[in-house]
Chain A
Amino acid sequence: DAGVIQSPRHEVTEMGQEVTLRCKPISGHDYLFWYRQTMMRGLELLIYFNNNVPIDDSGMPEDRFSAKMPNASFSTLKIQPSEPRDSAVYFCASSLDRAPLTRDTQYFGPGTRLTVL
């Protein structure tokens, strides 16, 4: 299995530009998670999907952030317009949850390192 795939791996953009991050989860996984990691705040959950449906987006910082999952094998996280404080590593993760009480764990992609100038 190729694991979780993210693109691009690095993105440098200027303030005000639109940024789109992409994720392909592990085939067959029911859940997809978007995280942001910074030195100051650690790993923060932004949003997660179950069977392509957004379940909890309470971690999305503001309206500039949006996420979609048009099908089981693809998700995007968009920032429009981007700001310097959005600079972080964005991780996508997926998991197979057969039931709430299982020990299914998350598998992370390599991340996208975003720098907004």
Chain B
Amino acid sequence: KQEVTQIPAALSVPEGENLVLNCSFTDSAIYNLQWFRQDPGKGLTSLLLIQSSQREQTSGRLNASLDKSSGRSTLYIAASQPGDSATYLCAVRSGGGADGLTFGKGTHLIIQP
């Protein structure tokens, strides 16, 4: 059974810092990996999708990497801003069919102004 772990569970940093959120998964036979952002009381917003054949994806100040063989992904946020404060969720899709996503429990990020 796939298990996804996110470290740290919470992180508070001053504005402007570059930071890294970590995600690990137990079964390396994944189809793709998706990073989401969730604001309090809101739904999930997709940030980046990395296919199993890819090493990284970038969107603006966000960069996600994938090392499938070691079961790890990182989300790099450059020049953090208070608006980046949210919970970040990592989710793994293990198959290309109906398989649902397996989620980590998230990293709660606070960017101090």
The judgment on whether A and B are partners is no
